[in-house]
Amino acid sequence: MHAVGFIHRDIKPENIVLKRAGEIHAVIADFGLATEAQLQEYIYVRCGTPGFIAPEIIYHTGRSGQSCISDVFSLGVVAHILATGNNPFVGRNCHETLAKNNAALLKLSQDQYKKVNPYLLNFIVRTLERDPCKRLSSSELLNDPLFDSEFPMLLKVGTHTTVT
């Protein structure tokens, strides 16, 4: 999707489906908010689900600037949920959630991160980088040590352990 210049803009657990064709694959669904990445203006400027939206989309003005890197942020939130059981940006209401989304702060000293595999935690931190210029790109994400098939590791997810 990113390779052909499209942004999903609403990646969240509800929009990820598992497909089995021999191996299990994660497939992204619901392209209702998807758009071309390099438009001069977007029909839906501020869109997505609070708690998953990249900071650059939250207060976007409508001119160009959204990119595929915004989906990487949302994927980082999904990875955080899988690793800890929590969305890091949930607030008491929509306004507070969007403010936390925009700040993109992780308090890594919290106990919930002690159980997370260091490779996975590093991946989460790099995908939840507030500055899109410093965030992992889609291709960098796929080349992250976390996904290196020659380096199998144990990913501790909550109290469960998954072998990859």
Indicate if the pLDDT at residue 147 is higher than 60: yes
Lowest mean pLDDT among 43-47, 75-79, 118-122: 43-47
**Catalytic residue chosen out of the listed positions 10, 30, 111, 148:** 10
Q: Which domain does 146 fall in, by range?
A: 2-163
Q: Is 10 a catalytic residue?
A: yes
**Nearest C-alpha neighbor of 143 from the set 131, 134, 155, 151:** 151
Note the pLDDT of residue 154: 43
Q: Give the per-residue pLDDT at 90.
A: 93
CATH number reported for the structural domain that contains residue 65 in this entry: 1.10.510.10
Q: What is the pTM of this model?
A: 0.81
What's the distance, Cα to Cα, between the start and end of the chain in Å?
25
pLDDT, average across residues 18-31 = 82
Looking at the chain, the whole-number percentage of residues with pLDDT higher than 90 is 35
Q: Which helix (H) or strand (E) holds 26?
A: strand 23-28
- Domains contained in the chain, number: 1
